[in-house]
Amino acid sequence: MAEKEIKKIKIDIKSPEGMRKRRKRLGHGPGSTLGKTSGRGHKGQKARSGSKVRRGFEGGQMPLHRRLPKRGFTSIFKKNYYLINLDQLQKKARSNDTLDIKKLIELGFIKIGNSYKKRNRMIKVLGKGDISKSITIYTHKISMSAGDKITKAGGKVFILSPKVKLNKNVVELADAKIEKLDYKEYKVKKEAEDKLEESRQENDRKRRLEIRLKKVTQASEEGDSKKGKKKKKDKAGEQKVVDKAEKKPDKEEQKAEDKAEKKPDKEEQKAGDKAEKKSSKGNLETNEDKK
């Protein structure tokens, strides 16, 4: 009886009327509303067969994606994390639980997929809230407050190597083969790294201050040298004025002396010329008398 009923149900299943609608055929007269131009309008690029307008094309004018301003960039070195807080662990985890990657997937804290973001994500535990259960957790990173709270509650923390990627192969790996570090060792290492970073920042700050002081002293020295040059120029100008004042009377005296020397010379020349003329006239007269 049951088999017959199932057969009847199978026969009764069919698509309702109007579900599968036949498409309208194009170019079959004006009565079909898709005759003549077949719904493409009159001429133009879109009316032609095989015509395509690429996405974002606006007929030659500057398209929107180029008109809008751009800012910033997406870093290819960005590290993405699955963030897990202590209050979430307190709610979902049980005491004496070992929260390895497999368990974290079961509890829904992390997801494993084929996408680039999911494959390259890491786990990070943060110290929001409190925890009273003793748990063992595997994570790539953990804040100092969260690590201290877990260890106080009697739990353990193992730090995974950044090389440990969240994929199916890691889930299937045995715990001994996964690269990990104990929280105490990690804490010592982290503190040493923080101290190094602080010293580096301090050195950078000192170096910047030294550079700034150098620039200030250099600028002040340049200003002093410019002032010294100006003073030298002013002194040189004053010296030139003094020299000119000293040279002017010398020239005038020289001119007066030259004039005084030239005047007697001219008078002597005139007297000599007159004497010569007279002697020449006397000679002419004696010659005429002789004749």
- Strand order in 122-126's β-sheet? 81-85, 122-126, 141-142
The residue whose two tokens read 């407050």 is: 145
User: Which tokens go with 253?
Assistant: 């005296």
The pLDDT confidence band at residue 285, using thresholds 50, 70 and 90, is low
- Domain 81-178 in CATH 3.100.10.10? The answer is yes
Mean pLDDT of the chain: 80
236 vs 86, more confident: 86
Instruction: List, in order, residues 6 or more apart from 159 with CB less than 8 Å away.
Output: 139, 140, 141, 142, 180, 181, 182, 183, 186
Determine how many CB atoms are found less than 10 A away from the CB of residue 38: 14
Q: Residue 24: what pLDDT?
A: 86
What is the mean predicted confidence (pLDDT) over 132-159?
Answer: 90
Determine how many CB atoms are found less than 10 A away from the CB of residue 149: 18
Q: What is the pTM of this model?
A: 0.51
130 vs 183, more confident: 130
Instruction: List, in order, residues 6 or more apart from 62 with CB less than 8 Å away.
Output: none
**For residue 51, pLDDT beyond 70:** yes
Spell out the domain ranges in the chain. 81-178
116 vs 144, more confident: 144
The pLDDT confidence band at residue 245, using thresholds 50, 70 and 90, is low
